[in-house]
Amino acid sequence: MGEFKHFFSDEPEKAAAARTTRSTRSRLGQVFTPYAIARCMAQWVSAQKPPTTVLDPALGLGVFLRCLLEDENNFGIKLTGYEVDPETAQAAQQLFESNDYAQIDVRNTDFLRADWDEKFDAILCNPPYRKFRGLPDKEFLAAMVLQHTGISISRAANLYIFFLIKLIWQLADNGRAAVILPFEFLNADYGVPVKQLLLDQGILRKVLILGESFQPFDEVITTACILCLERSPQTCVPEMIAVHSLEELTAIAANFKTGDGAGLKVDQKTHNIPTAAQKWHTPVHLAHSGESDPLVPLSTFGKVMRGIATGDNGFFMISEAQRVQIGLEMDCVLPCLAKSSFAPDLQFTEGDFSKLRDDQRPVWLVNLAGHEASPGVQRYIEYAMERGTDQRYLTRNRSPWYALETRPPAPLLVTTFSRGQVRWVRNLAGVRNLTAFHGFYPHSGVDLDLLCAYLVTPLAQERLSHQRREYGNGLHKYEPNDLNQALVVDYRKIEEADKRLILELYGSLIEKKDRSKVDRIVNVGND
């Protein structure tokens, strides 16, 4: 007989984490689920009745299954777990057997390559978190999903998306599933077919969003959510609930048997899940009031494009001293912003660039294609090949490998990641930008000053936040299409006198004479 106190706790996972390196866990996509959260998820699948067959497609040490067994009503259920790592699979088998729970089938194989037809009454899962593009068998996995479901998954999707699709397929009639995974897929383009699958099958019951102040995973910076699924003839409107603490999650789980939300639901408007093509924002974003101003997509005025992806910034971005030392002529480099911190203000000027250059910051983007005859370029290319730059993921797929993506300087830059407000920066220096910024390329005739005056206001920031992707610890990300689809005021419908006043206020803001003017911009015409 093992130690039950140890069995029904986080201790097995903590001990395993102490024995392995973070890089090993990252390679396997392992992120251990805290026992208290796993218990709440287990309560969902067993709330109506004890399940007969239970699956964990990414077993680890079986924290979800252990949580189920903590309830004596669940004794005798048949447990199945998939675990690709042989050491972890063996440790899980021994852990259950040492505590007299031998009725577990630990399968040391890949769940995604296993039978699609086997059904389970209950499924609990924290799927592995790995970028799909880097997997050696990605084409096979994508083909399997397409064959069984007819769904074509983007290569930008994470591995957890494939786990979610397959476990949905293996959920038996009248069965329940609880899955904890990053919230980002609900706002991403690659998540659209998965959301459509959830809606078409009518199995989505709750989306519990673990807010920024409630981060269950130490090693993954992302906002997590728990999907509560149920395959039954019953139809109901799915709920989206923001959960700010473990205490709130525990209170919600305690009411799974009764179906009562315990007063923790958000505004009724958030219960109506949007279409699959729309972003499923967090409840705090969904609860915004109706708009009275004329709004149009930002794409009406131009196009947001991501910055230049080099494949090896350490090689492609150099300082002025490095340029001289390497022997690169000025026609072999381009002025470029590599980091968002290099442009902290609303404008980036030639003077700002000169200061960065003189401070020996990496501000030169090496542009070697077409200059191979230069001795300095030849030496630098040889150096790059010695360090393996030519064999990196992006570079090995380019011809020549050192050729740059074609991106002209963008007149307006916007930060890709942010904490708090997204920053818009007028690129008066005409520099290129790497992926720390997206570039906005206005259509002909667009008044960029007037548009910028609006984009920096709190009202614009609030509207833009409806499009952002939530990560952990207050970190937000905007993809180019997120911003292209964001709604902004149609400045063309503003009176000419108001336009002049707005530009005057924006000028004061730019010169930092009176930053309080930013709040007045949105009230022009309403005074």
pLDDT at 485: 84
Tokens standing for residue 84? 């690709």
Tokens standing for residue 441? 């390329």
pLDDT at 130: 81
pLDDT at 508: 76
Distances in whole angstroms, Cα of residue 155 to Cα of each of 138, 237, 389: 8, 31, 23
pLDDT at 421: 80
For residues 234 and 259, give the distance between their C-alpha atoms in angstroms, rounded to a whole number: 13
pLDDT of 357-376, one tens digit each? 999 999 999 999 999 999 99
pLDDT at 259: 58
For residues 226 and 41, give the distance between their C-alpha atoms in angstroms, rounded to a whole number: 8
Residue pair 412/427 in contact (Cβ under 8 Å)? The answer is yes
Give the domain 4-176+186-201+216-221 fold. Rossmann fold (3.40.50)
Residue pair 108/84 in contact (Cβ under 8 Å)? The answer is yes
pLDDT at 113: 94
Residue stretches of the chain with pLDDT short of 70: 1-5, 22-29, 102, 132-134, 212-213, 215, 217-222, 258-272, 281-293, 470-474, 512-527
Q: Nearest to residue 170, comparing CAs of 83, 231, 79? A: 231
Could you tell me the residue ranges of all domains in the chain? 4-176+186-201+216-221, 299-521
